[in-house]
Amino acid sequence: MALFSPPKYVISVLNRLECKGFSAYLVGGCVRDLLIGRRPADWDVCTNALPCEIMSVFEHSRDTGSKHGTVTVFVGKSKVEVTTFRSDGKYTDYRRPESVTFIPDLKGDLARRDFTMNAIALPLSGLAFDPFGGAVDIENRLIRCVGEPNQRFNEDALRMLRALRFSAVLGFEIEESTLEAIGENSLLTNFLAAERVCSELQSVLMSSKPELISQMISLGLLTRYIKDTQEIDLAALAALPKSRAERWAGLCALLLQSKMISNPEDFLQSLRLDSSTVHKAACGVKLSLSEPPSSKLMWKKLLSRHGTDCGKCTAAAADALYGTEHTKKLRSVISSGECYCLKRLKISGDELLELGFRGKRLGEVLYELLDHVLAHPNDNDLEVLLSLATDIAKSDGL
Ligand code: ATP
Ligand code: MG
C-alpha cells in the first residue's frame, strides 16, 4: 500500500484531460517518491495533448515554457505542471537540446528522462507504465541511466550531479556502468552554470549523507571550483545542524584544512552562493581558526560583534575541525537566551531618546549598556538599565 496518494487537485487534472479524450500520467519524481514511500515535492503530469490543447482544457493555466511543452495548470491555490510528450533534439553544449519535438507516444517521452526511477508513468487506473525497469531499480535502491550512460551524460552534464544528489538524498547506490560513465565524463560539468552546480551540491550538503561530496570531488565533478581531486574525510558534516550557512561553513573549514581551497569566500562566491550565506559561512570559518575565547564573557563579546548567525557558523566550522567538545561554551551561550546583542537588551533607543540622547551618542550609550550586561547578565532589566542610563545622561550634562 502506498503511504501517500496524489491530492484531489492532481487527480482532477488527470481526470479532466482523460475526459477530454487525452491520455495523462503522473511522471518523474512524484511517481518515484510514491513508490519509495516519500512525500513528493511536486506533481508533474505528462500528456499527449499539445500545449495549446492543454490551455484550452484548463481555464486557469499559463504557458510556462510551451516551447518545451510545459503549461502550468492552477487549481485553487495549487498548481500542476503539465507537459506534452516530447523527444529532445540534438545536444550541442552538454546542457540542453537545440530543439524539442512533440510526439504522440509515452515511451518516447520516458526515454528522454535521466534515470529509470524517474521514467515511470502512472495513470489514474493505477497501472504503472515502466518500460525501463524503474520499479525494480527502486526496489534494489539503484540509480541507473535510461539508455547508454556515456551518451546520456554527454547530452546533459547536469545528470551526473543529479545522480550524486539522488544518491545522497535517497540513500541509493549508483549502478556500476552509470558510475563508471560519470568518472569518464565528469569534466563536462565545467560547461554548466555555477548556479546549477551549486544547487545540486547544496542538496547533497543538506542531506543526511553530505560526506558524498568527497565522492563528487574525487570523481572530478567539481574541478572548476576545487582543483584537487583527492578524497577527503567529510564524515563530520552529517552531525552539523541542517542549516545552509552552517553546513557550508563546515565544508569550507574541512576543505581549507586539507588545502583543497585557499579562500572560503572566493570558493563560495565562485559557486554564486548568495552574499549573506557567503558572509556568514566565511566569517565562521575565519573565527574558528583563531584562538578560541577563554571565557564565557569573551564568547559573548565575539557574538555581540559578529551576530548569532556568524556565531553558529563558527561553532559549525569548529565542530567539523576539532569535534563538538570545543564549542560547547559557544553553543550554550547562543541557546541560553542570555543577552549578547542589542536585540536581547531590555532597553531600546526609545527610552534613551526620552532621556535626551540623540544621534551617534545614543548608539554609543546603547553599546555601553550592552557591554555592562555582557559582564553582569543579571542587570539586563529595564529599571536597572534606565538608572544606569540616567547616570550617563547626568554626566553628559543632559
Ligand atoms: P525532485 O524530487 O528534486 O523534484 P525530480 O526527479 O522530480 O526530483 P525535477 O527536476 O522536478 O526532478 O524533474 C522532473 C523529471 O524530469 C525528472 O524526474 C526526470 O524524469 C526529468 N528530468 C529532470 N531533469 C532532467 C535532466 N537533466 N535530464 C533528463 N531528465 C530530466
Ligand atoms: Mg520534481
Sign of the Cα torsion 353, 355, 361, 365 reads negative
- Is residue 113 in contact with ligand 1, taking CB distance under 6 Å? yes
Question: Measured in angstroms, how far is the CA atom of residue 119 from the centroid of ligand 1?
Answer: 9
* 20 and 107 share one domain: yes
pLDDT band at 2 (very low <50, low <70, confident <90, very high): low
* 89 and 126 share one domain: yes
- Is residue 83 in contact with ligand 1, taking CB distance under 6 Å? no
Q: What are phi and psi of 8, to 5 degrees?
A: -55, -40
Determine the 3-state secondary structure of 87 from DSSP: strand
Question: Measured in angstroms, how far is the CA atom of residue 128 from the centroid of ligand 1?
Answer: 18
Using the 8-state DSSP alphabet, how is residue 38 labeled?
A: P
Single out the residue in 111, 135, 159 at which a domain terminates: 135
Report the number of distinct structural domains present in the chain.
4
* 126 and 97 share one domain: yes
* 101 and 175 share one domain: no
- Is residue 42 in contact with ligand 1, taking CB distance under 6 Å? yes
296, HSE (Cβ side, Cα atoms, 13 Å):
15
Mean pLDDT of 45-70: 93
pTM of the entire predicted model: 0.92
Mean pLDDT of 179-195: 97
Closest CA to 254 of 338, 323, 333: 323
Question: Measured in angstroms, how far is the CA atom of residue 278 from the centroid of ligand 2?
Answer: 27
Give CA–CA dist 100/375, Å, rounded: 67
Q: Which residue's C-alpha comes closest to atom 28 of ligand 1?
A: 114
- The ligand whose atoms approach the alpha carbon of 109 most closely is 1
pLDDT digits (tens, 9 = 90+) for 135-171: 999 999 999 999 999 999 999 999 999 999 999 999 9
SS (H, E, C) 243-306: CHHHHHHHHHHHHHHCCCCCCHHHHHHHCCCCHHHHHHHHHHHHHHHCCCCCCHHHHHHHHHHH
CATH classification of the domain holding 15: 3.30.460.10
Give CA–CA dist 310/331, Å, rounded: 12
Atom of ligand 1 nearest to the CA of 42: 4
Q: Which residue's C-alpha comes closest to atom 8 of ligand 1?
A: 29
pLDDT digits (tens, 9 = 90+) for 305-344: 999 999 999 999 999 999 887 788 888 888 888 999 998 9
266, HSE (Cβ side, Cα atoms, 13 Å):
9
Residue 104 pLDDT more than 60? yes
* 11 and 109 share one domain: yes
Tell me the residue range of the domain where 278 lies: 236-336
What integer pLDDT is reported at residue 295 of this predicted model?
86
pLDDT digits (tens, 9 = 90+) for 59-91: 999 999 878 889 999 999 999 999 999 998 888
Identify any residues that bridge with 73 across adjacent strands, giving them in sequence order: 61, 80
Q: Which residue's C-alpha comes closest to atom 16 of ligand 1?
A: 28
SS (H, E, C) 328-394: HHHHHHHHHCCCCCHHHCCCCHHHHHHCCCCHHHHHHHHHHHHHHHHHCHHHCCHHHHHHHHHHHHH
Provide CB contacts within 8 A for 106, sequence distance 6+. 23, 25, 46, 48, 85, 121, 129
Single out the residue in 180, 202, 232 at which a domain terminates: 232
- Is residue 88 in contact with ligand 1, taking CB distance under 6 Å? no
Percentage of the residues of the chain whose pLDDT score is greater than 70? 99
pLDDT digits (tens, 9 = 90+) for 295-313: 889 889 989 999 999 999 9
* 290 and 220 share one domain: no
Q: Which residue's C-alpha comes closest to atom 14 of ligand 1?
A: 28
User: What is the pLDDT of the chain when averaged over all its residues?
Assistant: 95
CATH classification of the domain holding 163: 1.10.3090.10
Question: Measured in angstroms, how far is the CA atom of residue 28 from the centroid of ligand 1?
Answer: 6
Grid coordinates of 355 = 532621556
Q: Which of 32, 118, 185 is the best mutation target for the ligand 1 pocket, counting ligand atoms within 8 Å of the beta carbon and taking the most?
A: 118
Q: Which of 38, 82, 113, 200 is the best mutation target for the ligand 1 pocket, counting ligand atoms within 8 Å of the beta carbon and taking the most?
A: 113
Give CA–CA dist 54/86, Å, rounded: 14
* 168 and 46 share one domain: no
* 145 and 131 share one domain: no
Residue 1 pLDDT more than 60? no
* 23 and 131 share one domain: yes
- Is residue 312 in contact with ligand 1, taking CB distance under 6 Å? no
- Is residue 44 in contact with ligand 1, taking CB distance under 6 Å? yes
* 295 and 214 share one domain: no
Q: Give 204: exposed, middle or buried? Use CB within 10 Å, 0-12, 13-18, 19+.
A: buried
Grid coordinates of 274 = 548568495
Single out the residue in 286, 318, 336 at which a domain terminates: 336
What integer pLDDT is reported at residue 394 of this predicted model?
95
CATH classification of the domain holding 243: 1.20.58
223-237, 240-254, 285-299: lowest mean pLDDT where? 285-299
Question: Measured in angstroms, how far is the CA atom of residue 323 from the centroid of ligand 2?
Answer: 36
- Is residue 29 in contact with ligand 1, taking CB distance under 6 Å? yes
Residue 186 pLDDT more than 70? yes
- Give the environment of ion ligand 2: residues with CB less than 5 A: 29, 42
* 365 and 350 share one domain: yes
* 124 and 47 share one domain: yes
